[in-house]
Amino acid sequence: MMKHFLSLFFIMLSFSIFSQTSKNDSLLFLKLTQADTDTITYYRELETIDIYPRPAYKINYRRYSRLVAKIRKVYPFAIEAAAELEVYNKKYTQFKTDKERRRYVREIEKELFAKHEKDFKKFTISEGRYLMLLIDRETGETSYDLIKELKGSFPALFWQGFALIFGNDLKEDYDPVYRHFLIEQIVLMIKDEKK
Average pLDDT, the chain: 77
Please indicate whether residue 184 or residue 44 has the higher confidence score (pLDDT): 184
Instruction: Quote the CA–CA distance of 170 and 135 in Å, as a whole number.
Output: 11
Q: Is the pLDDT of residue 101 over 90?
A: no
Instruction: Quote the CA–CA distance of 137 and 190 in Å, as a whole number.
Output: 15
Maximum CA pair distance of the chain?
A: 92
Is residue 70 in some structural domain?
A: yes
pLDDT in tens, 149-187: 888 888 889 888 888 888 888 888 888 888 888 888 889
Residue 75 to residues 3, 79, 81, 98, 179: CA-CA distances in angstroms? 59, 6, 10, 32, 18
Q: DSSP character for 119?
A: H
Is residue 53 in some structural domain?
A: no
Give me the mean pLDDT over the 92-113 stretch: 85
pTM: 0.66
User: What dihedral angle (degrees, nearest 10) is formed by the CA atoms of 170, 172, 175, 178?
Assistant: -130
Strand-pairing partners, residue 45, are 27
Instruction: Quote the CA–CA distance of 24 and 1 in Å, as a whole number.
Output: 41
Q: Quick check: 134 and 187 in contact, CB under 8 A?
A: yes
Q: Quick check: 131 and 77 in contact, CB under 8 A?
A: yes
If one counts the domains in the chain, the total is 1
Give me the mean pLDDT over the 71-84 stretch: 90
Is residue 108 in some structural domain?
A: yes
Instruction: Quote the CA–CA distance of 78 and 96 in Å, as a whole number.
Output: 29
Q: Quick check: 187 and 137 in contact, CB under 8 A?
A: yes
Is residue 40 in some structural domain?
A: no
Is residue 39 in some structural domain?
A: no
Q: DSSP character for 151?
A: T
Is residue 19 in some structural domain?
A: no
Please indicate whether residue 49 or residue 126 has the higher confidence score (pLDDT): 126
Is residue 100 in some structural domain?
A: yes
Q: Output the pLDDT for position 92.
A: 82
Range of the domain at 153: 61-194
pLDDT in tens, 120-134: 888 888 888 898 899
Is residue 115 in some structural domain?
A: yes
